[in-house]
Amino acid sequence: MTRIENENKKPDQLDEMQDEIEHLKKQLKHKQSKKFFNCSSCAVLLIIIFVALGAVFASIMAKSGLWQLPFFTDYFYRQPEPVHLVKDSNFTENDLVNRLQQIALAEAKIQGKVSNLSINFEISEEELTALLRNQVKKNEALAKKIEFWQIAIEADSAQLFLKANSSKNLILILDFIPSIKDGKLSLGVKNFKIGNLTLPKFFGNLLVENIGANTFNSLLNSFGSIGKIEQVVLADHKIKIKILINNLNL
Q: Where are the domains of the chain?
A: 1-77, 93-247
Using CA atoms, how far apart are residues 74 and 185, in angstroms rounded to an integer?
Answer: 40
> Over pLDDT 90: what percentage of the chain?
23
- Contact (CB, 8 A) for 94 and 226: no
Chain center to CA of 101 = 39
Q: What is the pLDDT of residues 146-191, one digit of tens each?
A: 889 899 999 999 999 999 887 677 899 999 998 887 767 778 889 9
pLDDT of residue 214: 59
User: E strands along the chain, which residues?
Assistant: 115-124, 146-153, 158-164, 171-181, 184-194, 197-198, 228-235, 238-247
Q: What is the pLDDT of residues 76-97, one digit of tens each?
A: 888 899 999 999 999 998 898 8
Q: The whole model's pTM is what?
A: 0.73
